[in-house]
Structure 1
Amino acid sequence: MEKVMIALDYDPTAQKVAEIGFALAAAMKAEVILVHVITDIKYYSSLAYSPIVGYTGMMALNQVKKDSIGSLIHASNHFLDTMKDHLGDKAIKTIVLEGDFAESIINTAKKQNADIIVMGSHSKKMLENILLGSVTEKVLHESDIPLFIVPTKKQ
């Protein structure tokens, strides 16, 4: 395996997903690609959306202009750069995408010739989440590229 693509969302567990994906890539001496997908701008203005990982105490999502796709792209790039710095590898490639979560992840993995996609599953009951139609489930069923799922249930 030469390329590991790690798909990250803004959930606080994204750091765990990035660290495990990075360790997997390091064990295989593979290139790392960090990816974040921006979907419908209305999604980010919902009260249910969680703060951006890595911004705790310095920049929460509620400080980002949610009515501007440009500001969301900027915040997403900053998020991925923060994660890249945390992992300590300047060679990590970062990509911010716009569109459907699962489709964007699958299409980018194909374009980047990723050998494996690393994603988290936030469900307390992972099987229940997979059966009910999560982004991870859609990628699992629609991608020809192997998927490494990191369980991220909250303790």
Structure 2
Amino acid sequence: MSAYQKMLVAIDLTEEAPQVLEKAKAVCSAHGAELVLVHVVEPVGYAYGGDIPMDLTELQDQLDKAAREELGKYGDQYGVAKDQQIVTVGRPESEIHRLAKEHNADLVIVGSHGRKGFQLLLGSTANGVLHGTECDVLAVRIH
């Protein structure tokens, strides 16, 4: 029996996502594990501190739709079934923690950018995921 049965890979839909997905697919194949592909869309109100006196629902819906389409392309390219592709709205760290529990993931895979100081090894999202996830976390170094 493999150490990992279900892996959750969280990507940000940038041009760097394939680096994370390539590593995730390799680890997944090596363990014969199931892969769940996740993208978290931050609420539009977060960018403005929630202080905008207007309805941002339509904009949020457009962002969600675009994210689903883009995640679907990655899912198709990397052989992840539609029912294992998840787009959700919220704070990335919190949503990744919730989804890892909900899907009984035993490994979470995220990308990590190099930073200065304390964030040298992990970006803020990867660091937040590491410190709140109950399963193992693999931070893939983004070049």
Q: Is the TM value for this pair above 0.5? A: yes
Moved over 6 A (4+): none
SS of residue paired to 2:131: helix
Aligned length: 133
TM-score of the aligned structures, taking structure 2 as reference length: 0.81
Cα-to-partner distance string for 1:51-102 (whole Å, 9 max, x where unaligned)? xxxxxxxxxxxxxxx9521111111111111111211344771001111110
Higher Cα radius of gyration: 2
Q: Distance in 1 between matches of 2:28 and 2:122?
A: 30
Identity %: 31
Q: Mind listing any 5+ residue stretches in structure 1 that lack a counterpart? A: 46-65
Cα-to-partner distance string for 1:118-145 (whole Å, 9 max, x where unaligned)? 00002255x7426787011111111111
Check the 8 A contact 1:34/1:92 in 2, yes or no. Answer: no
Q: Distance in 2 between matches of 1:150 and 1:13?
A: 11
Question: Of residues 22, 25, 49 in structure 1, which corresponds to 2:25?
Answer: 22
TM-score of the aligned structures, taking structure 1 as reference length: 0.75
Name the CA shift for 1:111/1:78 in 2 (closer, same or farther; >3 Å).
same
Q: Distance in 2 between matches of 1:149 and 1:99?
A: 21
Name the CA shift for 1:132/1:20 in 2 (closer, same or farther; >3 Å).
closer
1:150 aligns with 2:110: no
Structure 1 match to 2:112 = 121
Check the 8 A contact 1:41/1:67 in 2, yes or no. Answer: no
Cα-to-partner distance string for 1:14-39 (whole Å, 9 max, x where unaligned)? 11101111111111111110000011
1:12 aligns with 2:2: no
Structure 1 match to 2:36 = 33
